[in-house]
Amino acid sequence: MSGRFTDRRVLVTGGSGGIGGEICRRFATEGARVFVHYSSGRNRAEQCLAGLPGSGRHEAVQADLLDAQQVADMIDSVVDAAGGIDILVNNAGIYERHPPVEARYEEWQEIWRRTLGINLIGAANACHRAAHHMIRAGTGGRIVNISSRGAFRGEPDNPAYGASKAALNSLSQSLALALAPHRIFVYAVAPGFVETAMARPYLTPEKIDAIREQSPLHRVAKVQDVAYWVLAMADDEAEFATGAIVDVNGASYLRT
């Protein structure tokens, strides 16, 4: 297959989910060899693979992002299978409701451990290992981290999520500075509400109209809206935007 990402080797964490699956499909359509990460949902990863153009070129890879060794092994397995890695998309994340005044102390601690462990530390470990291979190969690369509008406006029902995404933004910008001399360019894409399974409990009939009206476009994002900007940031011509955090929230939250 041919396209602007022909023969690029791409790993998408959380690739079997809604946003991740669309990112995988877009990269595959543009000629990339795609590695679909999953934690426990092997069947969903296989379904994602079955729907990707270029059958037989793509693979599923498993890792618990809370386990640093499994993250390293996952990246190494991609490099072993494909001969390198060109693009890493840190898309995997969890969102668990825990308002400060309602959560039990033990529950609070556990949610913070899991949320930061997956959303931030797991992503940081993946960045480190992928960058290591990119630098050793001398070919440069791209890292795109999926952040959130909640990093800027706060998440009162899930402060760990908001904190993890704010830290992911900072990590992205720190790495953009540190890795640019190696021609590794780093970006973050920050959506608001997106029509996915993770958001479905919050997009209830009672709430959906109010949530849609947060945007002057009177809707929430589709997975295609997010995937478009991930591929735009991974494009060769986007290198001078390294360190950028791209808001994809339909002007529902404007920051200065």
- Is 143 in contact with 90 (CB distance < 8 Å)? yes
- Is 23 in contact with 89 (CB distance < 8 Å)? yes
Distance CA 6, CA 18 (A): 23
Told to judge if 95 belongs to the known catalytic residues of this protein, a careful annotator would answer: no
Instruction: Give the amino acid at 254.
Output: L
Q: What is the CA radius of gyration of the chain?
A: 17
Distance CA 178, CA 51 (A): 37
**3-class SS at 28?**
helix
Q: Is 7 left (phi over 0), alpha (psi -120 to 50) or beta?
A: left
Catalytic residue (one of 161, 187, 202, 253): 161
Write out the catalytic residue numbers.
161
